Amino acid sequence: MTVAILALQGAFAEHGQMLDRLGVENFEIRQKRDLGRSFDALILPGGESTVMGKLLRELDLFDELRERIEKGLPVFGTCAGLILLAKDVEQGTPCFATMNLCARRNAYGRQLGSFHTDGVFAGDEKVPMTFIRAPYISKAGEDVEILAEVDGHIVAARQGNQLVTAFHPELDSDMQVYKYFMAMIEK
């Protein structure tokens, strides 16, 4: 199994380190020719969604990645990655718009609103959750499965081949969310 990590900007290296720990092969996508390598899944990391959205288009990655996601490529978006997948974005512009949900950008305010907590993920055990200038999901369509909520707001969800978290599992040492994604890929 090989996982590609979008490496245009942000905390992509951290995802690579987590995949290394799981022994999962991974590589970075920085430009069009990287799409020539074969991969079974994609991670959209945290960072600035405005920067990634712009570079996806200017480096001509957008159309091909969107098509692959629509055709069922397993994809995992964290924070900014969640915003890239959301069909609607409050205080921002949609990018891939492949997931039937509405994301509220900077939902917790500026950096002073960033926080760390624990929460139940996918009806299982609690996982550490780190929110950095994070969004949350303000609305989710009927076909979207809600995987985690914090203070009444949706912070993790899945729709078919697409998984999103408003928090950053790549910044904590817990592997549960990655294992969930690996199970999605193997199906």
Partner 1 sequence: MAENRYELNKQLAQMLKGGVIMDVTSPEQAKIAEAAGACAVMALERIPADIRAAGGVSRMSDPKMIKGIQEAVSIPVMAKCRIGHFVEAQVLEAIEIDYIDESEVLSPADDVYHIDKTQFAVPFVCGAKDLGEALRRISEGASMIRTKGEPGTGDVVQAVRHMRAMNAEIRRVQNLRKDELFDAAKNLQVPVDLLTYVHENGKLPVVNFAAGGVATPADAALMMQLGAEGVFVGSGIFKSGDPAKRAAAIVKAVTNFKDAKMIAELSTDLGEAMVGINEQEIELLMAERGK
Apex CA 146: angle with CA 141 and CA 151, to 5°?
A: 110
Of 23, 38, 112, 187, which one interacts with partner 1 (CB under 8 A)? 112
- Candidates 8-16, 121-129, 153-161, 175-183; binding stretch for partner 1 (CB under 8 A): 8-16
Catalytic residue among 48, 70, 79, 102: 79
By C-beta, is 70 or 91 nearer to partner 1?
91
Q: Is 79 a catalytic residue?
A: yes
Active site residues: 79, 168, 170
Q: List residues near partner 1 by CB under 8 A.
A: 7-14, 30-31, 46-48, 50-51, 54-55, 58-59, 79-80, 91-92, 105-106, 109-112, 114-116, 130, 132-133, 168, 171
